[in-house]
């Protein structure tokens, strides 16, 4: 039976009923990300008003869940049921009150702050921080490295979201919900590569668009020079002329109040004119200390996508791609040894490969496993080397002469179960990974299975002399890597 609506019905109850239906039709992660933050605030004349945290969330719901939302609302409010959004917008700059949009229909009222839209005369001479003295818009050098392309960026679990979002942006700059696109992650994980790849792809598809890649330190230095030379307006106008702005290492703006002020002005102008903004950072927006709240709130308008360290298979793929580009042929043993030795930094991984090839060429020696080990020892000697779950599994499988796939399978054969338990035991004692993470890497086991495996291994060490020798031998093999 359809619910008749009036002002006395609790909107929260209606929305709770909707959420029960929605929960059954989307994944748990998507429900938590897109629907849990929503609040029902009003129900009047068959129209339910819900509060969403940002325009980006609204656009995502409209693009991906419009059919589900429409059917769910009509199931609760009848054929006349409609949904309105109250979108929370940052008002620290005086941009106005929350806006309201309705379903059906996807026309979004655009909030603009006229005071931030400085007029730009493209026919006038504007000082270019990159090419001095004069400039035409078409003459702006993109500062992009063509070698950093999507073709050279291997896709894996560690970068799939960021890479896919970047490719979407490159195909429709300023026309997707990913504006700004903020890519974050540790050193050497491919942030700069992806940033350049987006710019390179846009220039290939839209040669008429002005694209600029700039490291954050260069942006700050240009700003300081502009202030010194009384050319602040030229500096701002130059950046407002761009169609695509890519700034690398945005975390260095932290605690730079004046730099953040001018970037805020440039950001607003570009965003309000549907120009694409791409940013990289070594931290997630929530962890960027020293950054003004009004900037952080704007970063949330788009998508923040993280890059994580590549797994073993991904590292192998990266090395093989680099070998193909450089015209190098190496045996599987050598490639695997490099991939097992350097686990957390793609830049170091590729650097180690080039160093080994260079050493072989200079000394006119063939690339052998022994030469590789010597070079890797030198390459990482000043690095605190962390044992990975992938490496532990490889050592255990090599010791028992088992394929890695069998270790991660669901088979209950005694020898496989024993090897799997040992891999879990060493992963718990030698890595900082959680029990759940270890279990996931060992064939999708839960944390209780990992805990049971560790207890079993400890008991066998105390009671089984042969098993104790297994543990000691494997420990020695793992220590070879730790000492490297």
Q: What is the pLDDT of residue 419?
A: 93
- Domain ranges in the chain with CATH number 3.30.300.180: 11-105
Model pLDDT, residue 183: 93
Structure tokens at 366: 């063939």
**Model confidence at 226: pLDDT above 50:** yes
Q: How far apart are CA 244 and CA 178, in angstroms?
A: 13
Alpha-carbon gap, residue 438 to 443, rounded angstroms: 9
Give the alpha-carbon dihedral of 278, 281, 285, 287, to 10 degrees: 180
Which of 58, 154, 65, 69 has the alpha carbon at shortest distance from 107?
Answer: 58
> What gap in Å lies between CA 350 and CA 68, rounded to an integer?
46
- Considering only CA atoms, give the Rg of the chain: 28
Q: Name every residue whose Cβ is closer than 8 Å to that of residue 22 and which is 6 or more positions away in sequence.
A: 31, 35, 65, 68, 69, 72
| Torsions phi, psi for 376 (to 5 deg) | -65, -40
Least confident of 270-279, 350-359, 389-398, 457-466: 350-359
Is residue 278 a contact partner of residue 169, using CB atoms and an 8 Å limit? yes
Contact 154, 318 (CB under 8 A): yes
Question: According to CATH, what is the number of the domain 11-105?
Answer: 3.30.300.180
Closest CA to 174 of 61, 59, 271, 263: 271
| Token pair in block for residue 10 | 């609790």
For residue 207, CA distances in Å to 118, 139, 166, 172 come to 26, 12, 18, 13
Q: Report the C-alpha dihedral over residues 156, 158, 161, 164, rounded to 10 degrees.
A: -40
pLDDT the model gives residue 194: 94
CA dist 132 to 82, 120, 126, 127, Å?
56, 19, 9, 7
Region for residue 190 given its phi and psi (left: phi exceeds 0; alpha: psi -120 to 50; beta: otherwise): left
pLDDT tens digit string along 371-414? 888 778 766 654 445 577 888 888 899 889 888 888 888 888 98
Other residues' Cβ atoms within 10 Å of the Cβ of residue 123:
7
3-state secondary structure of 129: coil
Q: Is the pLDDT of residue 247 over 90?
A: yes
CB count within 10 Å of CB 163 equals: 23
Task: Return residue ranges of the chain for CATH 1.10.1750.10.
Answer: 389-483
Domain with CATH 3.40.50.300 in the chain: 137-307
pLDDT interval class at 362 (50, 70, 90) = confident
* pLDDT at residue 102, rounded to an integer: 44
What local confidence, expressed as pLDDT, does residue 203 receive?
A: 92
Is residue 128 over pLDDT 60? no
> Could you say which DSSP state residue 251 is in?
G
Complete edge-to-edge strand list for the sheet that includes strand 211-215? 211-215, 244-248, 276-281, 181-185, 303-307
> For residues 406 and 128, which has the higher predicted lDDT (pLDDT)?
406
Count of Cβ atoms closer than 10 Å to residue 220 Cβ: 18
- Decide if pLDDT at 54 tops 80: no
Q: Verify cis geometry, omega within 30 degrees of 0, for the bond prior to 180.
A: yes
Q: Domain 137-307 sits in which CATH superfamily?
A: P-loop containing nucleotide triphosphate hydrolases (3.40.50.300)
Instruction: Answer yes or no: is pLDDT of 125 > 60.
Output: no
Question: Using 50, 70 and 90 to split pLDDT, how confident is the model at 137?
Answer: low
pLDDT tens-digit series, residues 179-190: 999 999 887 888
- Percent of the chain at pLDDT > 90 equals 18
**Binning pLDDT at 50, 70 and 90, where does residue 225 land?**
confident
Average predicted confidence (pLDDT) for the chain: 80
pTM of the complete model: 0.53
User: Of 100 and 63, which is predicted with more confidence?
Assistant: 63
State the architecture of 389-483 in CATH terms: Orthogonal Bundle (1.10)
């Amino acid at each position: 039976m359809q619910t008749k609506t009036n002002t006395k019905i609790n909107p929260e109850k209606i929305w709770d009923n909707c959420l029960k239906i929605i929960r059954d039709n989307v994944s748990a992660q998507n429900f938590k990300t897109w629907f849990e933050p929503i609040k029902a605030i009003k129900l009047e004349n068959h129209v339910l008003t819900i509060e969403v945290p940002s325009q980006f969330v609204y656009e995502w719901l409209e693009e991906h869940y419009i059919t589900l939302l429409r059917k769910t609302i009509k199931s609760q409010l009848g054929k006349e049921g409609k949904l309105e959004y109250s979108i929370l917008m940052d008002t620290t700059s005086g941009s106005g009150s929350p806006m309201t949009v309705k379903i059906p229909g996807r026309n979004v009222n655009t909030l603009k702050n006229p005071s931030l839209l400085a007029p730009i005369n493209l026919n006038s001479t504007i000082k270019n921080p990159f090419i001095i003295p004069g400039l035409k818009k078409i003459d702006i050098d993109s500062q992009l490295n063509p070698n950093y392309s999507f073709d050279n960026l291997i896709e894996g679990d560690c970068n799939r979201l960021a890479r896919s979002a970047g490719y979407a942006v490159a195909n429709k700059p300023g026309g997707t919900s990913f504006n700004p696109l903020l890519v974050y992650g540790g050193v050497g994980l491919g942030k700069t590569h992806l940033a350049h790849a987006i710019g390179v792809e846009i220039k290939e598809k839209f040669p008429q668009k002005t694209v600029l890649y700039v490291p954050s330190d260069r942006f700050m230095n240009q700003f300081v020079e502009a202030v010194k030379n009384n050319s602040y307006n030229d500096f701002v106008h130059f950046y407002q002329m761009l169609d695509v702005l890519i700034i690398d290492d945005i975390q260095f703006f932290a605690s730079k109040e004046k730099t953040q002020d001018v970037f805020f002005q440039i950001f607003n102008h570009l965003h309000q004119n549907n120009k694409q903004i791409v940013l990289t950072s070594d931290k997630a927006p929530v962890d960027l200390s020293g950054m003004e709240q009004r900037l952080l709130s704007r970063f949330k308008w788009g998508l923040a996508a993280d890059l994580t360290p590549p797994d073993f298979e991904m590292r192998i793929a990266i090395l093989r791609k680099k070998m193909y580009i450089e015209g190098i042929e190496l045996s599987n043993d050598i490639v695997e040894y490099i991939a097992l030795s350097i686990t957390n930094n793609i830049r170091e991984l590729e650097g180690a490969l080039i160093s080994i090839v260079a050493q072989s060429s200079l000394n006119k020696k063939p690339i052998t496993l022994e030469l590789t080990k010597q070079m890797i020892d030198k390459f990482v000697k000043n690095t605190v080397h962390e044992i990975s779950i992938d490496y532990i599994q490889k050592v255990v499988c090599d010791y028992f002469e088992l394929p890695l796939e069998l270790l991660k399978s669901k088979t209950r054969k005694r020898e496989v179960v024993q090897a799997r338990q040992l891999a879990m035991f060493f992963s718990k004692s030698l890595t900082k990974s959680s029990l759940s993470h270890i279990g996931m890497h060992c064939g999708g086991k839960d944390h209780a299975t990992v805990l049971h495996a560790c207890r079993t291994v400890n008991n066998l060490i105390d009671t089984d002399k042969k098993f104790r020798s297994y543990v000691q031998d494997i420990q020695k093999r793992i220590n070879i890597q730790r000492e490297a």
